[in-house]
Amino acid sequence: MKFATVILCAVLCVLVSGDLFSQDIHNKMMVLQNGKLLTITKGIVEKGSILIQDGKIVKVGKGIKVPAGAKIVNIAGKTVMPGIILAHSRAGTRAKEWDSNENGDPVMPELRIIDSINPQNSSLTWLRTGGITTILVAPESKKVVSGQCALIKPVQGTIEDMILKFPAAVQFSMGEEPKKVYQPKRVLPSSRMGISYLLRKTFTETEEYMEKWQKYKKDPKNSTQPERDEKYEILSRILEKKLPVILHANRSDDIMNAIRLSEKFGFKIILDHCTEGYMVADEIGKRRLPVIITNVGTMWKTWEKQNHKVENAEILRKNGALVAFQVGEGSPYPEKDLLLLASVSLKKGFPREEVLRAITINPAKMFGVEHRIGSIEEGKDADLVILDGDPLNIKTNIVSVIINGRIYSDSVIKEQKKQTYE
Amino acid sequence: MKKKIIYTYCFLLFFCNISAQQNNSIALKCGKLYPITGPVIDDGILLIKGSKIYAVGADISIPQNFRILDLSDKVVLPGLIDAHTHIGAISSRPLVVEYDANERTDIIEPQMRIIDAINIHDESFEKAVNAGVTTIINRPGSAALIDGQAVAMKTYGSKLADMIIKYPCDVKFALGMNPKVLFGQNKTRMGLAAILREALEKAKKYKEKWDKYKQNPEKNDKPDIDHELEPLKNLLEGKLPAHIHCARADDILFAIELAEEFNMDISLGHGYEAYKVADILAEKDIPVCIGPELLGWDQGKKGEIPVDLGGILARAGVRVSIQTDGIFQQNLWLQAAICVRNGMDFMDALKAITIHAAELGRIQDRVGSIEVGKDADLVVLNDTPLQPWTQVEMVFVDGRIVFEKK
């Protein structure tokens, strides 16, 4: 009897103290102990610990007292950074079937990308292996207004479990992309004039719609209730500055058109791609505009990206823009390796700490979720990446990814082991 | 008298010119030197004489007449090689009509020569040089089953003829989706295989005719030269290898089968599914050039490419090289870096953009490593190669400095 108890205890001990990284345990309380913490907003903490409770970061610092019942994860010699935010992607909407674009009218803000995201899509878990814990999923830029974007976390579950913020923004597009769709059909918009006109018309209609409702709300008894229109409902939230616009603009004139339009009607814009941004960097910089830059050039199939330069990110940052990175449509390089693709900007003088900010806190600020994600701070979501060295070094491996306090051990190394040819 | 003076002047000019070239004697004091084919040398000395590497090692005394270049805080590598590209034949500006990499008038067109389509003034060449890519293998294709003859060339030079290392270096074939769809006719793999075999059989007969004639030139009639069959005859005679574009594992196996049937020497391009047949490729020592897509999941267009394809193949013993397949030679570093990030050994990744790429083009006697007698094509870096922050400081082609960072 006694012997059996000893054996049982021994087995339990082995189970509990075993390699915790290899198990997917959703623990209510967990302490990551003695790691190098890159908090992003509050400097670097050497030999620091993080207390996680119910998916949130409760305490960050040195010598945290371990509460009773908390799971201890020793991360000595490891580096922890906040989960990476991919600021623009189509992940989850494409597999053999593509659901990232709806044909038809060039202005459709009523479309919702969450209706196209398949939580079972392998691209989501694949992005997670690269340390990406939040993704902005946007519809394609083939329309002038192509729909509402979502900020999601690649966790297991339904789309409701995944959503961090919806709608997070509305995707707009200027320049070549909508032209390519509507020009062959010989319908509006077939030129840059047409695109700008359509946007002016749409926003004027929205202003009228808002006026009608304001008038009605002032005196509901003596006026008839206007008809509700989903399209203008979304657009009025944009004009109320409650929802930002992600604006696909590559050429410098498209960028300036976008800025002009946003100032005329008063809405918040986030410049998407912004390829020729360096040509109008002072204009973007003095307005402190957020930009989501495609850092690495590939074989463009469009004219508007031909003046791509890696210097773009650094020039815009120096001028005052808030920089984030994306991988870009049709890139032959893995979107999951955003960390590495963003690091390429180091070659042109982009500072090291700014690279990390551009894939964490900067995009969090852009989408108004900096109270939830983007840094290692008390009260924020426990979205963390544990690495075995400097995140920007190519020889560094991602050991574990934590989302909402849950350890996902489908790390890069494990994936590789599975695929290694025996 | 006047004539004599002119002659003497001319002679002197000529002599000075030659001696200037021969006098290109430079000694590089390198902080770290990656010969690639040998172990890394710390504080190494590299001597350049003329256009070639004269000596390399840790304890080499610098002869008197050598100009010393102090690179003691720098890292020196052989010039990079992009194992498959189309620059100059495809304009670096998108959507322009200057697209000369595919003839597209016949599905079998080995008579096409990429050297007739290369615009060396395209800005891609300058970008390649500035990124340290000093050699490229420029190929036609891949719309047809047999696309034409490729060239191994330097990226720096004022005349194409001077830039060529080896022409032809191989004949480009394409299997699978591209010739099925891009050529404009809906063909099947069965149909493509039949056409390919027919062309090679024709070449075999053509070769036999020539063999017969050469055995007894006086008795037999001299056969007519057939431009289409001439390159294929070279293939069958083993004078030229075939470079075969393939994606699916069954296409790779078909390529191997065809090579054995017709006794051809082959290398493979793209090989997205090569991981499924890695042991066969290693056993038969068939070099594979991967890329440009290095995805683990690619939105369903080309199937599942393991993100560590390079690593899987290298660990199985396959000689792996990397290609940009296009106008962004500066991304060759990044592509190797992506491979390392996803599990490929660091030295394997360096080999993939130097010596293994040279071996794929059969030009390893000239370029691909820092060895005595090879061309003095070098890249000088300010830090460890492949790291995202590392910058190219200086580039040598044929012993001359062709790029220097300001």
- Residues A365-383 have pLDDT tens digits of 999 999 999 999 999 999 9
Given the DSSP bridges, would you call strands A84-89 and B400-404 parallel, antiparallel or unpaired? unpaired
Whether B387 and A347 lie within 8 Å, measured CB to CB: no
Model confidence at A15, in pLDDT bands (50, 70, 90)? very low
Buried b or exposed e, range A300-329, using 16+ CB within 10 angstroms: bebebbbebebebbbbbbebebbbbbbbbb
Whether A126 and B296 lie within 8 Å, measured CB to CB: yes
B180 secondary structure, DSSP code: I
Rounded Cα distance, A308 and B327, in Å: 13
Within 8 A by CB and 6+ apart from B192, the residues are: B145, B175, B179, B180
A351: closest chain B residue by CA: B389
Rounded Cα distance, B320 and A332, in Å: 18
Does position A169 have pLDDT exceeding 50, yes or no?
yes
**pLDDT score of A361:** 98
- Select the residue of A94, A297, A395 nearest B340 (Cβ to Cβ): A395
Residue B113, Ramachandran bin (φ over 0: left; ψ between -120 and 50: alpha; else beta): beta
The interface predicted TM-score of the complex, written ipTM, equals 0.89
Whether A340 and B291 lie within 8 Å, measured CB to CB: no
Buried b or exposed e, range B137-163, using 16+ CB within 10 angstroms: bbbbbbbbbbbbbbbbbbbbbeebeeb
DSSP 3-state assignment of A238? helix
Model confidence at A17, in pLDDT bands (50, 70, 90)? very low
Which among A248, A255, A326, A313 has a CA at the least distance from the CA of A284? A255
E strand or H helix at A83: none
- Residues A332-350 have pLDDT tens digits of 888 999 999 999 999 999 9
Amino acid making up residue A209: Y
* A21-33 mean pLDDT: 67
Question: Is A352 at the interface with chain B, CB within 8 A?
Answer: yes
| Total number of residues shown for chain B | 406
Going across the sheet that includes A290-294, the strands are: A84-89, A132-137, A145-152, A163-173, A245-249, A269-273, A290-294, A322-326
- CA–CA min distance B334, chain A (Å): 8
Whether B95 and A302 lie within 8 Å, measured CB to CB: yes
Going across the sheet that includes B288-290, the strands are: B146-149, B171-174, B242-246, B266-270, B288-290, B320-322
Question: Is A102 at the interface with chain B, CB within 8 A?
Answer: no
Chain B neighbors of A419, CB-CB under 8 A? 275, 306-308, 312
pLDDT cut 90: percent of chain A above it: 79
* A11-26 mean pLDDT: 44
Across-strand partners of B122?
Answer: none
* Cβ A391 vs Cβ A382: under 8 Å: no
* Cβ A25 vs Cβ A71: under 8 Å: yes
| Total number of residues shown for chain A | 422
Q: Which residue has the tokens 């597209």?
A: B104
- CA–CA min distance B262, chain A (Å): 30
Chain A neighbors of B294, CB-CB under 8 A? 332-334
User: Which ranges of B158-277 would DSSP assign to H, the alpha helix?
Assistant: 160-163, 177, 189-215, 229-236, 249-261
**pLDDT score of A298:** 76
Question: Is A94 at the interface with chain B, CB within 8 A?
Answer: yes
**pLDDT score of A57:** 97
A337: closest chain B residue by CA: B338
Question: Is A126 at the interface with chain B, CB within 8 A?
Answer: yes
- Select the residue of A95, A299, A413 nearest B327 (Cβ to Cβ): A299
Rounded Cα distance, B346 and B384, in Å: 11
- Select the residue of B313, B338, B389 nearest A334 (Cβ to Cβ): B338
- Provide the mean pLDDT of chain A: 90
Whether B295 and A413 lie within 8 Å, measured CB to CB: no
Model confidence at A4, in pLDDT bands (50, 70, 90)? low
Rounded Cα distance, A1 and A394, in Å: 54
Interface contacts (A, B; CB < 8 Å): 117
Given the DSSP bridges, would you call strands A79-82 and A71-74 parallel, antiparallel or unpaired? unpaired
Whether A416 and B278 lie within 8 Å, measured CB to CB: no
**pLDDT score of A337:** 93
Whole-angstrom CA distances from A115 to A139, A147, A368 are 11, 11, 22
Across-strand partners of B42?
Answer: B32
Model confidence at A131, in pLDDT bands (50, 70, 90)? very high
Amino acid making up residue A108: M
Model confidence at A5, in pLDDT bands (50, 70, 90)? low
**pLDDT score of B108:** 94
Contact map slice: B 310-329 vs A, CB within 8 A: 311-313, 315-316, 325-328
Across-strand partners of A82?
Answer: A384
Chain B neighbors of A302, CB-CB under 8 A? 94-95
DSSP A173-227: E-SHHHHHHHTTTT-S-SSHHHHHHHHHHHHHHHHHHHHHHHHHHH-TTTSPPPP
Question: Is B293 at the interface with chain A, CB within 8 A?
Answer: yes
**pLDDT score of B173:** 97
**pLDDT score of A299:** 67
Q: Which residue has the tokens 């190797």?
A: B336
**pLDDT score of A419:** 40
Chain A neighbors of B84, CB-CB under 8 A? none
Rounded Cα distance, A260 and A195, in Å: 13
Whether B388 and A392 lie within 8 Å, measured CB to CB: yes
Which among A377, A394, A317 has a CA at the least distance from the CA of A83? A377
- CA–CA min distance B340, chain A (Å): 6
- Residues A238-274 have pLDDT tens digits of 999 999 999 999 999 999 999 999 999 999 999 999 9
Does position A326 have pLDDT exceeding 50, yes or no?
yes
Which among A256, A276, A267 has a CA at the least distance from the CA of A145? A267
Question: Is A21 at the interface with chain B, CB within 8 A?
Answer: no
Rounded Cα distance, A418 and A326, in Å: 28
- CA–CA min distance A273, chain B (Å): 17
Question: Is A125 at the interface with chain B, CB within 8 A?
Answer: no
* Cβ A310 vs Cβ A349: under 8 Å: no
DSSP A258-312: HHHHHHHHT--EEEEE-TTGGGGHHHHHHTT-EEEEE-S----SSGGGTT--TTH
Whether B331 and A296 lie within 8 Å, measured CB to CB: yes
Cis peptide before A167 (omega within 30 of 0): yes
- Residues A381-413 have pLDDT tens digits of 999 999 999 999 999 999 999 999 999 875 544
Whether B292 and A301 lie within 8 Å, measured CB to CB: no
Positive/negative CA dihedral, A327, A333, A336, A337: negative
Contact map slice: A 270-309 vs B, CB within 8 A: 296-303, 305-306
**pLDDT score of B347:** 97
pLDDT by residue, tens only, chain B of 406 residues: 555 555 555 555 444 444 445 578 999 999 999 999 999 999 999 999 999 999 999 999 999 999 999 999 999 999 999 999 999 998 887 656 678 888 888 899 999 999 999 999 999 999 999 999 999 999 998 889 999 999 999 999 999 999 999 999 999 999 988 888 876 667 899 999 999 999 999 999 999 999 999 999 999 899 999 999 999 999 999 999 999 999 889 999 999 999 999 999 999 999 989 999 999 999 999 999 998 888 765 444 445 678 889 999 999 999 999 999 987 888 999 999 999 999 999 999 999 999 999 999 999 999 999 999 999 999 999 999 999 999 999 999 999 999 999 8
